[in-house]
């Protein structure tokens, strides 16, 4: 909302405006020339107060797309205050409550009570009784008056009518009555022509009339008495019925007969119709016939006799012109805009850039035509637009709302053009320019769904694969359980496994495979449901095959073991790891210290959870549980306690679970070493985890218990010391 005392106008066009904010302008101390209340929420009384306060200066009133008006109360207040808007020249509206006059007969009412038949003559409180109270209830009109109304008065019936609002502003020169879906006058009360005649008859000075999107206007005889210079009938169907009236408006300079689609712009004899229009309207300089058949070529049944004018025209119906039009709208008129001889200085069409840019300018507020001009179905334009958007994003600093609009636009593009590989790739590259996942969290589920769909549709394009897997991994890194489950439900785990399977079959270990396993590691972290999905999709077999073929690829192995570690933390899933081949891999990796301790540490963690299940769980395998426990303790001795880690724990609960297990000392040893390492290298973050999750008494128990080894006791004291610091 903007107010400028010097300019004298009020604008409310950015959304629903709080009623209290508008009430400040219902004061005679600040008379305004213009009231622009588009999309505001108004009551009858508030609108009346605003108009009454500014009636002496008001020149321009726009109440398009407002909400909350009923009309009856507004007209009553206009009547009571004898409002006359002598200076009002421009009026715009899209729903017509304040213009509707109830024509249904209603009984005379005594103020304060009404009588209802079959009510034994008892008085019933009415709406008026709420006057001057703190409660405001708008006057409600009944569609059909009750048939059993029965008053004890003389049963006199009358019509509640007020003077038409337009009669209070007879000097209006420009009137916009655009209809919106679900709005308009009640045709069961009066026909379109009756309504228009009543509304327009007081407006003797009217020059411009906009009746866009009206339906069933018939012959429009209600406007025949006007001296219009501008008539806009955009998206009014079947205008051939009103042609006789239109050609009577001989002062017309601007005539808009355009449609949003061709289906409503069909004239039975289009060449004759166009010829009548231009020959009977000698002052016409601007004509828009977009999405109609008026520019058709003559036929044997439609070839009017034409007295050639002084212009050359490939459009037969315009040959009677004596001079070119200033403007001619020919968009979506088949190939008419491509003709060589078109008698107009400016043409909107689709022949070249100039015509398209003019069409964009002319139809910027007409969604139906604008969609056609933008060529939304032409994927080549969309691809070019997506590439342009990518470079704009890289250069322009955007606020949060703009970023959201851009992200939504990119997602819409991917949704609409999923089969277009280049288009999808451009959109994914653009998404990479945002902070993931922070700036896409507002539509997280949709982003994930579309990225999964991209992998399903474009599995052969390496660059697209890389981008999408990177995006999915970045999204999985920074969200919690529920959103991870959502991604799993979308089929992301299965589609990533398919990508990995393709790479394996090709004998290629690249960044797609590595980041794919990283995604699986992140998406299964503390998410048992996703671990189950991985296992159900035969993920362990794929792990085994990848290890056999690429066991020297340390990044790949690290990511795979991180995932296996997540499965090992889930008690009811660990049994699926009880396989000699798998256990031998885990044991072999205990000695792998290339690029740090991460692989060895993850392998020891997996085994620590497995041995914690006791001897019974190991009956099915040939590898000795005791041997494995010895290997775990041996491996921890080779790790530097101050080694920096590339891991991010959200909880220590799976680790703390192992500390009281004195019948599985290797599990204890690994768990306490992990806490000692993490609290030593990142004490600010991890010491609080130990405290909050109940680790301190468990560590103290290890220190005090005789069954603890000296190395375990030493590590436990290290953790407690780090916490005390």
Task: Please name the residue that has the structure tokens 């005679």.
Answer: 28
- CA torsion 216→222→224→229, rounded to 10°? -80
Identify the DSSP state of 234: T
Pairing state of beta strands 34-36 and 60-63?
parallel
Q: Binning pLDDT at 50, 70 and 90, where does residue 152 land?
A: very low
Q: Where are the alpha helices (DSSP H) in 569-624?
A: 580-589, 598-611
If one counts every other C-beta atom within 10 angstroms of the C-beta of residue 412, the result is: 13
For residue range 218-262, what is the model confidence (pLDDT) as tens digits? 899 999 999 999 999 999 999 999 999 999 999 999 999 999 988
pLDDT of residue 662: 94
Neighbouring C-alpha atoms within 13 Å toward the C-beta of 346:
12
The radius of gyration of the chain's CA atoms, rounded to the nearest angstrom, is 39
For 564-580, give the DSSP string: HHHHHTSTTTGGGG--H
Q: Quick check: helix, strand or coil at residue 335?
A: coil
For residue range 435-444, what is the model confidence (pLDDT) as tens digits? 988 898 889 9
Q: Residue 544 pLDDT > 50, yes or no?
A: yes
For residue range 430-487, what is the model confidence (pLDDT) as tens digits? 999 999 888 988 899 999 999 999 999 998 888 999 999 999 999 898 888 788 999 9
pLDDT of residue 375: 76
Q: How many residues does the chain have?
A: 725
**How far apart are alpha carbons 628 and 607 in whole angstroms?**
7
Identify the DSSP state of 304: -
Cβ pair 572, 532 in contact under 8 A: no
548: exposed, middle or buried (Cβ count in 10 Å: 0-12, 13-18, 19+): exposed
For residue range 302-354, what is the model confidence (pLDDT) as tens digits? 999 877 778 999 999 999 999 999 999 999 999 999 999 999 999 999 999 99
Q: Binning pLDDT at 50, 70 and 90, where does residue 645 land?
A: confident
For residue range 679-714, what is the model confidence (pLDDT) as tens digits? 999 999 999 999 999 999 999 999 999 999 999 999
**How far apart are alpha carbons 407 and 450 in whole angstroms?**
12
Q: Quick check: helix, strand or coil at residue 606?
A: helix
Measuring CA to CA, how many Å separate 305 from each of 67, 85, 276, 296, 301? 52, 49, 11, 16, 12
For residue range 646-667, what is the model confidence (pLDDT) as tens digits? 788 888 999 999 999 999 999 9
Q: Binning pLDDT at 50, 70 and 90, where does residue 1 land?
A: very low
Q: Residue 153 pLDDT > 60, yes or no?
A: no
Task: Please tell me which of 99-103, 182-186, 648-652 the model is most confident about, judged by mean pLDDT.
Answer: 648-652
Q: Binning pLDDT at 50, 70 and 90, where does residue 9 land?
A: low
Q: Chain-wide mean pLDDT for the chain? A: 86
Q: Residue 115 pLDDT > 60, yes or no?
A: no
Cβ pair 308, 275 in contact under 8 A: no
Cβ pair 257, 294 in contact under 8 A: yes
Nearest to 55 by CA among 82, 23, 94: 82
Name all domains of the chain by residue range, CATH numbers in brackets.
Answer: 2-100+164-301 (3.80.10.10), 109-160 (no CATH), 578-725 (no CATH)
Q: Where are the alpha helices (DSSP H) in 115-179?
A: none
Q: Quick check: helix, strand or coil at residue 488?
A: helix
pLDDT of residue 112: 42
**How far apart are alpha carbons 166 and 101 in whole angstroms?**
12
Q: Binning pLDDT at 50, 70 and 90, where does residue 568 land?
A: very high
Rounded mean pLDDT, 43-63: 93
Q: Quick check: helix, strand or coil at residue 458?
A: coil
Task: Please tell me which of 21-30, 60-69, 278-287 the model is most confident about, judged by mean pLDDT.
Answer: 278-287
Among the residue ranges 165-169, 370-374, 594-598, 670-674, the one predicted with the least confidence is 370-374
Measuring CA to CA, how many Å separate 105 from each of 25, 69, 102, 466? 37, 22, 8, 73
For residue range 570-619, what is the model confidence (pLDDT) as tens digits? 999 999 999 999 999 999 999 998 888 999 999 999 999 999 999 999 99
Q: Quick check: helix, strand or coil at residue 224?
A: coil
Identify the DSSP state of 61: E
pLDDT of residue 185: 59
Nearest to 48 by CA among 15, 85, 17, 16: 85
Token digits for 560? 């795979």
379 vs 721, higher pLDDT = 721
Token digits for 185? 């006058």
Token digits for 377? 């179905």
pLDDT of residue 373: 84
Phi and psi at residue 228, to the nearest 5°: -75, 145
**How far apart are alpha carbons 142 and 123 in whole angstroms?**
20
For residue range 118-129, what is the model confidence (pLDDT) as tens digits? 444 433 333 343
pLDDT of residue 361: 94
Q: Which own/partner pairs from 239-246 qualify as long-range (CB within 8 Å, at least 24 positions apart)?
A: 239/265, 239/267, 240/266, 240/267, 240/268, 240/273, 241/217, 242/217, 242/218, 243/267, 243/273, 243/276, 243/277, 244/219, 245/219, 245/220, 245/221, 246/220, 246/277
pLDDT of residue 71: 87
688 vs 113, higher pLDDT = 688
pLDDT of residue 493: 96
Token digits for 321? 């012109």
Q: Give CA 136 to chain center in angstroms.
A: 35
Rounded mean pLDDT, 64-85: 91
For residue range 380-417, what is the model confidence (pLDDT) as tens digits? 778 888 999 999 999 999 999 999 999 999 999 999 88
Q: Residue 556 pLDDT > 50, yes or no?
A: yes
pLDDT of residue 12: 52
């Amino acid at each position: 909302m903007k107010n400028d005392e010097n300019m004298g106008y009020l604008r409310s066009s950015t959304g629903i405006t709080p009623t209290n904010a508008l009430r400040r302008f219902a004061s005679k101390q600040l008379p305004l020339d213009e009231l622009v209340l588009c999309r505001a929420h108004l009551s009858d009384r508030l609108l009346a107060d605003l108009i009454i306060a500014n009636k002496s200066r008001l020149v321009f009133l726009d109440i398009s797309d407002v909400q909350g008006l009923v009309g009856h109360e507004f007209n009553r207040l206009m009547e009571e205050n004898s409002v006359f808007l002598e200076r009002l020249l421009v009026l715009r509206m899209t729903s017509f409550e304040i213009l509707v006059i109830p024509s249904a007969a209603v009984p005379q009412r005594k103020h304060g009570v009404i009588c209802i038949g079959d009510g034994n003559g008892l008085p019933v409180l009415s709406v008026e009784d709420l006057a001057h109270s703190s409660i405001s209830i708008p006057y409600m009109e009944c569609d059909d008056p009750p048939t059993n109304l029965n008053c004890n008065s003389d049963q006199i019936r009358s019509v509640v009518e007020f003077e038409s609002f337009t009669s209070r502003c007879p000097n209006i020169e420009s009137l916009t009555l655009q209809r919106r879906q679900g709005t308009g006058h009640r045709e069961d009360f009066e026909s379109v022509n009756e309504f228009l005649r009543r509304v327009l008859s007081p407006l003797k000075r009217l020059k411009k009339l906009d009746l866009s999107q009206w339906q069933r206007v018939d012959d429009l005889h209600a406007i025949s008495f006007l001296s219009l210079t501008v008539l806009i009938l955009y998206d009014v169907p079947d205008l051939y019925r009103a042609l006789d009236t239109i050609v009577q408006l001989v002062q017309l300079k601007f005539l808009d007969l355009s449609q949003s689609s061709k289906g409503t712009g069909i004239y039975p004899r289009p060449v004759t119709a166009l010829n009548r229009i231009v020959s009977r309207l000698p002052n016409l300089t601007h004509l828009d016939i977009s999405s109609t058949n008026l520019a058709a070529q003559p036929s044997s049944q439609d070839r009017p006799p034409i007295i050639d004018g002084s212009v050359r025209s490939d459009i037969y119906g315009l040959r009677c012109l004596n001079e070119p039009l200033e403007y001619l709208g020919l968009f979506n008129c088949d190939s008419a805009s491509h003709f060589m001889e078109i008698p107009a200085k400016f043409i909107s069409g689709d022949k070249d850039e100039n015509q398209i840019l003019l069409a964009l300018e002319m139809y910027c507020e007409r969604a139906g035509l604008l969609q056609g001009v933008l060529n939304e179905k032409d994927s080549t334009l969309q691809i070019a637009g997506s590439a342009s958007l990518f470079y704009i994003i890289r250069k322009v600093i955007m606020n949060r709302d703009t970023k959201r609009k851009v992200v939504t636009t990119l997602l819409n593009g991917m949704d609409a053009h999923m089969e277009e590989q280049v288009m999808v790739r451009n959109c994914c590259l653009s998404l990479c320019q945002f902070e993931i996942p922070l700036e896409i969290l507002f539509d997280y589920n949709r982003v994930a769904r579309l990225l999964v769909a991209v992998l399903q549709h474009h599995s052969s394009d390496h660059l697209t694969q890389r981008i999408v897997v990177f995006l999915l991994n970045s999204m999985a890194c920074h969200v919690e359980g529920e959103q991870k489950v959502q991604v799993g439900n979308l089929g992301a785990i299965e589609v990533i496994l398919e990508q990995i399977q393709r790479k394996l079959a090709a004998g290629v270990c690249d960044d797609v495979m590595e980041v794919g396993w990283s995604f699986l590691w992140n998406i299964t972290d503390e998410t048992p449901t996703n671990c189950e999905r991985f296992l159900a999709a035969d993920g362990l077999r794929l792990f085994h095959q990848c290890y056999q073929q690429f066991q020297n690829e340390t990044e790949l192995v690290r990511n795979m073991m991180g995932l296996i570690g997540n499965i090992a933390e889930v008690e009811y899933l660990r049994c699926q790891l009880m396989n000699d081949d798998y256990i031998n891999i885990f044991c072999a990796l205990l000695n792998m210290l290339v690029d740090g301790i991460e692989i060895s540490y993850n392998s020891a963690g997996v085994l620590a959870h497995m041995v914690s299940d006791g001897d019974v769980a190991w009956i099915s395998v040939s590898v000795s549980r005791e041997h494995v426990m010895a290997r775990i303790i041996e491996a921890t001795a080779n790790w530097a306690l101050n080694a920096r880690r590339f891991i991010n724990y959200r909880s220590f609960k799976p680790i703390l679970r192992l500390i009281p297990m004195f019948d599985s000392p290797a599990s204890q040893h690994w768990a306490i070493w992990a806490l000692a390492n993490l609290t030593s290298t990142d004490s600010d973050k991890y010491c609080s985890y130990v405290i909050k999750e109940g680790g301190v008494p468990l560590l103290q128990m290890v220190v005090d218990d005789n069954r603890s080894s000296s190395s375990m006791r030493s590590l436990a004291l290290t953790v407690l010391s780090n916490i005390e610091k």
